[in-house]
Amino acid sequence: MKLSGVELLRIRMPLVAPFRTSFGTQDVRELLLVRVVTPTGEGWGECVALADPHYSSEYVDGAEHVMRDYLVPALLRAEEVSAHRVAQILAPVKGHRMAKAALEMAVLDAELRARDTSFATALGSARDSVPCGVSVGIMDSIPQLIDVVGGYVDAGYARIKLKIAPGWDVDPVRAVRERFGDDLLLQVDANTAYTLSDVPQLQRLDPFGLLLIEQPLEEEDVRGHAELARHISTPICLDESIVSARSAADAIALGACRIVNIKPGRVGGYLEARRVHDVCAAHGVPVWCGGMLETGLGRAANVALASLPGFTLPGDTSASDRFYRTDITEPFVLDAGRLRVPSGPGLGVTPIPEALTEVTTRKSWLDS
């Protein structure tokens, strides 16, 4: 298909509560949405880059710039655009996977709407609902943490993930285990906050029966993760280190991880995310779907991805009200610890015009 034009929308959505990790605290989510228009319809994409380049080198202002000046013009010049050709068309621009992923998502949404096919069906869905975990940020105190985790347990979340950092690791994990027992599916996420000199401290997490420890070391230190794996019994899961199917295969071959977190934005899109899933499945490595505080658009696509057969662990595909009082789409609501996989054409959801207008701070239209 030929694109008629692309609209970039900047939106600002307050969080229901501050979300603190090892690299900072967010109380509002700055987001970049993409709407591609074709002669027969439209499609939506969501860029997951954060406001600042702390989780990764990408950030929302940079993503908007590279889309406006390089990526979108390349797509508009192309005579034939399909989701499977987006990566090839954009390949001359190095990196910027999150920006490219948002554009591929929008093109794929438009394609699938035109075919009356859902994201889940196109990706290879194996179920109509997925179990949901929730990510719990660093708190000011352990009593506060216990209260927050208790609320999520009561809500029915299938798994709890605790953000950790040096000085906030063993004690909060111990407190949650003691309060909620060994049956609670519990894991931790370090967001690269440790080094190999912290091996003795990380070994102290082993007795708590965690599902995994996510990305303890720097993203480029794959060999370091392989070394760490020889010293701890808790399975290592890689997040930031996995930027493609090839990097997943390399990490698995080196023994750097036993589990992989797949974030479509981080790997360049949902088609590459499916390839990461396939590589991990071929090696018997479980995967789960990570989250980046998405709106209902990104959440719909993530839930569809998480319904693939290799996603055997609950993901960070929490309900809309985990982060937002009002979503820009119809909200995703937890039902017995699960979310329904959208079955409508494309993403199966679209922005509610009034809700989108309320949070939009800027928009621009690009055409040929």
Amino acid at 282: A
CA distance 31 to 356: 12
Between the alpha carbon of residue 36 and those of residues 41, 52, 92, 147, 267, the distances in Å are 9, 26, 21, 43, 21
Q: How far is CA 82 from the centre of its chain?
A: 23
Active site residue 100: no
Decide the pairing of beta strands 259-262 and 236-238.
parallel
Residue 224 CA to residue 290 CA, distance in Å, equals 22
What letter does residue 6 receive in the DSSP assignment?
E
Question: How many of the other CB atoms lie within 10 Å of CB of 78?
Answer: 18
Q: Which of 2, 100, 161, 263 is catalytic?
A: 263
Instruction: Quote the CA–CA distance of 336 and 131 in Å, as a whole number.
Output: 9
Task: Give CA–CA dist 344/355, Å, rounded.
Answer: 21
Query: Closest Cα to residue 98, out of 33, 151, 187?
Result: 33
Give CA separation, 253 vs 70, 199, 246, 248, 284, in Å.
Answer: 35, 22, 11, 9, 12
CA distances from 21 to 45, 192, 193, 207 (A): 26, 11, 10, 23
Is 255 exposed, middle or buried (CB count within 10 Å of its CB: 0-12, 13-18, 19+)?
A: middle
Q: Which of 315, 340, 338, 336 is nearest to 161 (CA)?
A: 315
Residue 10 backbone phi and psi in degrees, to 5 = -95, 130
- The helix (H) or strand (E) run that includes residue 297 is helix 296-306
Q: Which residues are catalytic?
A: 163, 263
